[in-house]
Structure 1
Amino acid sequence: MSAPLKLSPSAPAAESAEGRRPRALVIAEAWRELGPGVAALSNGSGRPLARTLKLILDPLVIRPVQNPGLAGGTLTSDAAAELHDRIRAAGGDLTAAAAWFLELKAARRRLRITDGNPQEKYFQRCFELARTSGPPAADADAVAAEVVTEIAEASGDSLLAQVRELLRDETAATRLGQELGDAWARRPGSGPAPAAASASTETVTAALDACPTGDGSTHLSLLVDGSAGSAAGARFADDGAAQQLGLTRHPLPPAPRLGETASKRDLPLPFDRSIFERLFAALSGGARVDLGIDAEELIAAEIVRSTSAWQLGEEDSRVAMLLGAEASTALDAGRAAQPTAAHRLLAARWHREAYVRRALRLPEGTSGVPASVVDDIRTVRRGYLRRLWVRLHGRELREQPLDPRDVWDLLDGVLRSVVMDQRQRLKTMMVRGADEREATEAA
């Protein structure tokens, strides 16, 4: 049996020491005391939903950043009592938030809004309403309709609804499908890139060495002006190049479908997504309302973007993908040489994670890290590049230009996001395991 997994050198052991209690159990007990009034925020077993914990309890009630003693997987008796008291003290606000959530869901149905997860979109706003207005009153219908409409407009739901409606129209879909087929038929063939557009290895190296300090603007401008990102993306016409980077499951990226449905839980790899899935992934989380473009123009622009190098429309985005593809080689297991500051900093961030060191050091199957996470660790470069592409694609759709001074924040932020997601997955698995052990012992 492998040793207990640790998220960091200072993280508490998974097994509860004498006198300590699992945090999840303390939360569940305090939650049950709030009664049926919080049912809309609870799961079938009467515990708070995962999104209730993520969006309301942790950031707005418990506040573990300001109260680090309440953040661990297990708590001292004093910390457990404090956590219990915090949740009980917020009981009135939580009950009112649950009532507001029912009001907002009803307004959502009346307005026929279907995009996005209502818990993700409304939970924090419901708690805000509870704190500022108390429980729903006589004007609850009007308030809920106003809030739901505001959130829908701010998140791009109305534009997505127009896109979906257009793609479901048989005549429009036929016309757009023809545009898509023609655009892909006109794509430039494979072959060597022009010498003037070839990426300079020296310039790429200089840019990656300078960008962490904010001094890489000159090198980045040279890469953009020389179409270095486009030249690098042209190699995707070769068998397996995009597949090796984790951007498609196919030896060659296929022509996309138009599509008309999408699910955040089951999105394909970036180059395998339909036109609608690309727009859904980028806009459902918060599109600007002043894009100045209608649904048909948006689809037409995405069709053109899908035929471009890296399937991105702007050269600065393509250069960012080129830099990310090069810098992320530092994440490969066993890579010794780190030629630039960007390589070294990404490698340091990745390999200082305790769970990464453990998974890479021990033979597969004996690391103590769940198999799904081990696989993500060993192929992290692919996951990194997928997330980088998604962020760049979203910036383009929201018309957010990429300032050269922000390139390092983007490259580093993507890896930080990957690490945080993996930490959360591990934490969830460990807490669930502690709950299951306690339930078994109690039985």
Structure 2
Amino acid sequence: MSAPTDLSPEAPAVESGRARHPRAQVIAQAWMELGASVAPLSNGSGRPLARTSKLILDPLVIRPLQNPGLAAGTLTDDAAVELRERIRAAGPDLSAAAAWFLELKAARRRLRITDGNPQEKYFQRCYELARTAGSPAADAVAVAAGAVSEIAQSSGGSLLARVRQLLADEEHAAVLGRELDDAWRRRPASMTPPAPAETVAAALDECPTGEGSAAFDALVAGAAGTASGAGLAGEGIAQGLGLTRHPLPPLPRIGETASKRDLPLPFDRSIFERLFAALSGGVPPDLAVDAEGLLSEEIVRSARVWQLGEEEGRVAMLLGAEASSALEENGPARPTAAHRLLAARWHREAYVRRALRLPADLSGVPAAVVDDVRAVRRGYLRRLWVRLHGRELRDQRVEGRDVWDLLDGVLRSVVMDQRQRLKTAMTRGADNREATEAA
């Protein structure tokens, strides 16, 4: 594997008047110059989060529509200089936006709001606050509470309400049921051969650097995601990946009710449960689909390979399924950079090491968490599917530069959830001991 790209600000420029600079690398270099003040908007590698790029940098700072010279995947010397200067000039606003994001997240916790992704909901409002009010001041708590409350009220489930109305109509529900039966009966068999192992490995080697677009694009062009999911129709395959409780993925119901506390595994969800899980936190205002279109699209999506509608999402599932093999006891024989980084993140957790190396009764880790640790790949792939499905519903196409943020972010989410469950279990245990001693 080649040496990793130097992303420090002092990385030498290419000595050519016609040099081409990877756009992602230019952004990463300029971003890292901003320092720790933008950490809430950064990923674990110090680069801007995918949502930071999508919601703040591209539309509000770089503005590629108004500045087409800054939109290409590779930039000229002059364009690279201009892009760096735009990000540097926006540094104070970006730092203030990062501080506002912490304030809005704290307000969200105080108000006990759990719907939706905080980054998706608050990033642009935080940048607006940064531009109009500067950094958080003495009134930050009140301002943040007002902003969070306003966003929660404006993103109510009006589209989901219209979906429910359609499903409550017996005649319309019957039509949708026939559409669903027909879509599943006509599921095409994949004739695409599996992707070359070296192309998959190249994508997994390159994606942590933010430069995995070429290999990723090749996998998409070759329908590698579709080919990889063809085996999911085999008995026990999808079940083994944690996507269904059944030996074979069942025909989903249409449904008309859902609860976040009791959602089934991804492939076992009704059509309505799939929409509810992804959109109950709010619907993007620019989502160009009505309730009928939303239902019809979800029916078609459910009958596709990996039960995803876009090849980019299916390729991301292929890469996630391959990369997550590093989390199992017997990892891959020839690990890539993505394998190594995921395995390192996973095994540096003390509770993971104890759960894997010690008998359950000696590890100090609750049995339910031990079970999750030992079946982590299934939990990982479930979360990855949920994120990809949500992106499709919001028309957020996956690109090569997004892949590592997805793969790494899903594992971070799994770890944070398990840490919280471990903390809760230990707190309960301590409370029970105190109650026993006091009795």
Scaled by the length of structure 1, the TM-score of the pair is 0.66
Tell me which residue corresponds to 1:193. Answer: 191
**1:362 and 2:409 equivalent?**
no
- Report matched runs for 1:64-103 at 5 Å: none
Tell me which residue corresponds to 2:132. Answer: none
Contact 2:354–2:363 at 8 Å: present in 1 too?
Answer: yes
Letter matched to residue 400 of structure 2: P
Gaps of 5+ in 2: 1-101, 122-137
**1:253 and 2:254 equivalent?**
no
Contact 1:153–1:289 at 8 Å: present in 2 too?
Answer: no
Tell me which residue corresponds to 1:221. Answer: 217
Structure 1 residues 24-54: Cα deviation after superposition (integer angstroms, max 9, x where no partner) = xxxxxxxxxxxxxxxxxxxxxxxxxxxxxxx
- Report matched runs for 1:26-105 at 5 Å: 59=106
User: d(CA) in 1 for partners of 2:359 and 2:225?
Assistant: 38
Tell me which residue corresponds to 2:29. Answer: none
Tell me which residue corresponds to 2:152. Answer: 151
Scaled by the length of structure 2, the TM-score of the pair is 0.67
Answer with 1 or 2: which has the greater Rg.
Answer: 1
Tell me which residue corresponds to 2:319. Answer: 323
Taking structure 1 as reference, are residues 149 and 161 closer, same or farther at Cα in structure 2, changes over 3 Å only?
farther
User: d(CA) in 2 for partners of 1:374 and 1:194?
Assistant: 39
Match of 1:271 among 267, 271, 286: 267
User: d(CA) in 1 for partners of 2:184 and 2:191?
Assistant: 19
Match of 2:114 among 120, 134, 139: 120
Report deviation, 1:149.
Answer: 8.1
Letter matched to residue 164 of structure 1: R
Contact 1:310–1:318 at 8 Å: present in 2 too?
Answer: yes
User: d(CA) in 2 for partners of 1:309 and 1:327?
Assistant: 19
RMSD: 3.1
Contact 1:282–1:393 at 8 Å: present in 2 too?
Answer: yes
Taking structure 1 as reference, are residues 364 and 432 closer, same or farther at Cα in structure 2, changes over 3 Å only?
closer
Q: Percent identity?
A: 67
Report deviation, 1:277.
Answer: 0.3
**1:385 and 2:377 equivalent?**
no
Taking structure 1 as reference, are residues 129 and 217 closer, same or farther at Cα in structure 2, changes over 3 Å only?
same
- Report matched runs for 1:165-176 at 5 Å: 165-176=165-176
Report deviation, 1:129.
Answer: 11
Contact 1:224–1:315 at 8 Å: present in 2 too?
Answer: yes
Gaps of 5+ in 1: 1-54, 64-96, 102-117, 136-142
User: d(CA) in 2 for partners of 1:431 and 1:147?
Assistant: 30
Report deviation, 1:242.
Answer: 0.7
User: d(CA) in 2 for partners of 1:435 and 1:185?
Assistant: 55
Match of 2:391 among 380, 392, 395: 395
Taking structure 1 as reference, are residues 132 and 369 closer, same or farther at Cα in structure 2, changes over 3 Å only?
closer
Aligned length: 319
User: d(CA) in 1 for partners of 2:319 and 2:148?
Assistant: 41
**1:375 and 2:376 equivalent?**
no
User: d(CA) in 1 for partners of 2:103 and 2:369?
Assistant: 27
Letter matched to residue 271 of structure 2: I
Tell me which residue corresponds to 1:436. Answer: 432
SS in 1 for 2:363: coil
User: d(CA) in 2 for partners of 1:186 and 1:289?
Assistant: 33
Report deviation, 1:402.
Answer: 1.4
**1:211 and 2:207 equivalent?**
yes
Taking structure 1 as reference, are residues 428 and 147 closer, same or farther at Cα in structure 2, changes over 3 Å only?
closer
Taking structure 1 as reference, are residues 343 and 150 closer, same or farther at Cα in structure 2, changes over 3 Å only?
closer
User: d(CA) in 1 for partners of 2:224 and 2:280?
Assistant: 31
Taking structure 1 as reference, are residues 56 and 425 closer, same or farther at Cα in structure 2, changes over 3 Å only?
farther
